[in-house]
Amino acid sequence: MSNESLANLLKEERRFAPPAELAANANVTAEAYERAKADRLGFWAEQARRLSWETEPTEALDWSNPPFAKWFKDGRLNVAYNCVDRHVEAGLGDRVAIHFEGEPGDTRAITYADLRREVSKAANALIELGVQTGDRVAIYMPMIPETVVAMLACARIGAPHSLVFGGFSSDALATRIQDADARVVITADGGYRRGKPSALKPAVDEALTQPGTEKVRNVLVVRRTGEETAWTEGRDVWWHELVDRQSEEHTPQAFEAEHPLFILYTSGTTGKPKGILHTSGGYLTQAAYTHHAVFDLKPETDVYWCTADVGWVTGHSYIVYGPLANGATQVIYEGTPDTPHKGRWWEIVEKYKVTILYTAPTAIRTCMKWGDDIPAKFDLSSLRVLGSVGEPINPEAWVWYRHNIGGDRTPVVDTWWQTETGAIMISPLPGVTEAKPGSAQVPLPGISATVVDDEANEVPNGSGGYLVLTEPWPSMLRTIWGDDQRYLDTYWSRFQNRYFAGDGAKKDEDGDIWLLGRVDDVMLVSGHNISTTEVESALVSHPKVAEAAVVGATDPQTTQAICAFVILRGSAAEDEGLVEELRAHVAKHLGPIAKPKRILPVDELPKTRSGKIMRRLLRDVAENRDLGDVTTLTDSTVMTLIQSKLPGAASSED
């Protein structure tokens, strides 16, 4: 898309300086960029000292066999010890680690001392089940404290975990169990969603009937809902029977920094999920550092809340490993934002006096759709930093978030990263960066990223291309589980010696980075490359639109034609002239070439469980094709609803 269009999106020149008080007391200041630039590996070696090592590493990076990195390779540590025990040993045993809020309203406050006991018992239980260092454990759980305990227990004994979203089907679970060759599955009878118990164990039972899952010896089951649960004697074990009777003592053993910590399958927005492998020392270093830097965490006073599901990477790095390594106090909420009412999240912020909130654009746009009056009913004045992750955040949604949730006080940090990168890579720093709504802006200290053209040349400011990472980073994926070749092909073959992220991006006149969506989603209209993100942001900037998804559908005249699916804001009606009005609005913002050919108001969009719009399914719909793989979709009935709206729907031709 032309530079003009970006300039258009930016034309209001909205800039937000960091609040003075935050800037004055910020954990990280502008000096960190310089220091990291002067000595990148020295900078990361210094960050590694945030952790407690049994054996300190003497070298930061071994890049002798690229792209297979080894970080801090002669160092030894235990990840669970770093997240739990060391805080207790430092006298912080009484600090609350987790304020748990169940969907039905039950609550638990779990201190670091409690967490140490629970994790030790769970580690002993896994050992009793015969789990050995290196064995894989699949975890298929709701958002309850035992999920965190289970992950840390695995980390403690060096058994890599593989979390599978609680919303996935038994088939998706079976594929992941097979691929990781898991020996034990940890699950629950169910969890609460939308006011009702929602069973999980039946999907595990079903998955374990499939070939390739025979090596699963045991299923460890947490009782959460108390619903009737089918039982396989000899295989199934209740958590409260096995874990509760274990000793509270377990001495953590140190592992090599490169010991595998977890496998996590990407959310599958673009196709077959990849089993991303993360290891221990480098991963924990960057998760801890970025959580400290990007959220300005003050563990003594902050109450942090990340609304992500623990089953995706944000939950791994910014519910479990980063915050706990930093000794944070955090909120974990089990349920959906609208149960029992649409103000539930804001009620939780008010109740726990949450100071840092980290969520996804999809959630913010949903709240916009529900209306400003809902958050306005609650006292959100405790908030001081807001974060966003998962998709590009439209400038309109960014401004809405800062205004309606942040009371026009708080910085908003738009954090770009991926399952593969393990931790945040590109983001403003809340006490340093003058924020631009809609832009992730700058690589963090110690991170090297840029935008290149087809020939791998760095593009000048004001131009777009492909986002690449130019130097290895501590929390980078080490490979795709069991498939080194796919690791090389997917990330390292497009450009020599550079990691290709798969995302389009552009640099503005100041050199700040704007993410433009996946390269696979970029549209080609009459010879022009048009980014889905920019058209979506233009639509969302219209007062009647809460959310938009844009795809390019094959078109005989223009190669691709822009097709937009929009969700209207709470009060907006779907009247006659609306579609025309929206088309004109986009043309005004981005130029006539970006004017959507069709606009279809819908009630919901197809999303992954992590809240990302699955544009490839919308493309299938727009081109009247059978739907591709829908296994990672939250709710497959959404597609039927959208398809049923299609014939003769609000389309218009030029």
Contacts of 510 (CB under 8 A, 6+ apart): 461
For residues 548 and 536, the answer to whether their CB atoms sit within 8 Å is: yes
For residues 393 and 438, the answer to whether their CB atoms sit within 8 Å is: yes
Instruction: Map tokens 């909420």 to a residue.
Output: 333
Please tell me whether residue 416 binds ligand ATP under the rule CB under 6 A.
Answer: yes
501's contact among Mg ion, ligand ATP, none, with CB below 5 to 8 A by partner kind, is ligand ATP
479's contact among ligand ATP, Mg ion, none, with CB below 5 to 8 A by partner kind, is none
Select from 126, 264, 102, 67 the least CA-distant residue to 192: 102
Smallest separation, CB 269 to Mg ion (Å) = 6
Instruction: Map tokens 């912080």 to a residue.
Output: 92
Instruction: Give the CB-nearest residue to Mg ion.
Output: 266
Please tell me whether residue 218 binds ligand ATP under the rule CB under 6 A.
Answer: no
Scanning 207-215, 285-293, 431-439, 498-506 for contacts with ligand ATP by CB under 6 A, the matching segment is: 498-506
Nearer to Mg ion (CB atom), residue 252 or residue 311: 311
What residues from 595 to 614 belong to the interface with ligand ATP (CB under 6 A)? 610, 612
610's contact among ligand ATP, Mg ion, none, with CB below 5 to 8 A by partner kind, is ligand ATP
Q: Among 390, 438, 552, 611, which residue interacts with ligand ATP (rule: CB under 6 A)?
A: 390
Select from 129, 188, 186, 127 the least CA-distant residue to 156: 127
Task: Kindly write out the interface string for residues 256-275 of this chain, putting x where it contacts Mg ion by CB under 5 A and - elsewhere.
Answer: ----------x---------
| Annotated binding-site residue? 95 | no
In angstroms, rounded to a whole number, what is the distance separating the alpha carbons of residues 19 and 409? 7
Instruction: Map tokens 């739990």 to a residue.
Output: 84
For residues 165 and 309, the answer to whether their CB atoms sit within 8 Å is: yes
* Eight-class DSSP state of 519: G
For residues 229 and 201, the answer to whether their CB atoms sit within 8 Å is: yes
| Annotated binding-site residue? 418 | yes
Question: Position 375: which residue type?
Answer: P
In angstroms, rounded to a whole number, what is the distance separating the alpha carbons of residues 122 and 116? 10
Please tell me whether residue 322 binds ligand ATP under the rule CB under 6 A.
Answer: no
Q: Among 3, 339, 418, 470, which residue interacts with ligand ATP (rule: CB under 6 A)?
A: 418
Smallest separation, CB 4 to ligand ATP (Å) = 22
Q: Do strands 528-530 and 523-525 pair parallel, antiparallel, or not at all (unpaired)?
A: antiparallel
Instruction: Tell me how many degrees the CA angle 332-338-344 measures, rounded to the nearest 5.
Output: 55
Select from 412, 405, 400, 360 the least CA-distant residue to 382: 405
Q: Among 45, 208, 386, 440, which residue interacts with ligand ATP (rule: CB under 6 A)?
A: 440
Nearer to ligand ATP (CB atom), residue 246 or residue 537: 537
Please tell me whether residue 501 binds ligand ATP under the rule CB under 6 A.
Answer: yes
Select from 447, 418, 488 the least CA-distant residue to 65: 488
Nearer to ligand ATP (CB atom), residue 367 or residue 515: 515
Contacts of 176 (CB under 8 A, 6+ apart): 138, 162, 164, 265, 273, 275
Smallest separation, CB 386 to ligand ATP (Å) = 13
Residue 497 burial (C-beta neighbours within 10 Å; 0-12, 13-18, 19+)? exposed
Smallest separation, CB 591 to Mg ion (Å) = 29
Q: Among 179, 503, 512, 620, which residue interacts with ligand ATP (rule: CB under 6 A)?
A: 503
390's contact among ligand ATP, Mg ion, none, with CB below 5 to 8 A by partner kind, is ligand ATP
Cα–chain center distance at 497: 26
Smallest separation, CB 267 to Mg ion (Å) = 7
In angstroms, rounded to a whole number, what is the distance separating the alpha carbons of residues 332 and 128? 29
Q: Among 147, 162, 267, 532, which residue interacts with ligand ATP (rule: CB under 6 A)?
A: 267
| Annotated binding-site residue? 395 | no
Cα R_g (the chain), whole angstroms: 24
What residues from 42 to 81 belong to the interface with ligand ATP (CB under 6 A)? none
Select from 545, 524, 529, 550 the least CA-distant residue to 614: 550
Select from 156, 162, 146, 148 the least CA-distant residue to 126: 156
Cα–chain center distance at 5: 28
Q: Among 18, 75, 252, 268, which residue interacts with ligand ATP (rule: CB under 6 A)?
A: 268
Smallest separation, CB 295 to ligand ATP (Å) = 14
Nearer to ligand ATP (CB atom), residue 518 or residue 585: 518
Nearer to Mg ion (CB atom), residue 5 or residue 266: 266
Please tell me whether residue 290 binds ligand ATP under the rule CB under 6 A.
Answer: no
Enumerate binding residues for ligand ATP (CB under 6 A).
266-270, 273, 312-313, 389-392, 414-416, 418-419, 440, 501-503, 515, 518, 610, 612
Query: Binding site for CoA: residue ranges?
Result: 193-196, 314, 526
Q: By CB under 5 A, name the binding residues for Mg ion.
A: 266
Known binding positions: 193-196, 314, 390-392, 414-419, 503, 518, 526, 540, 542, 545
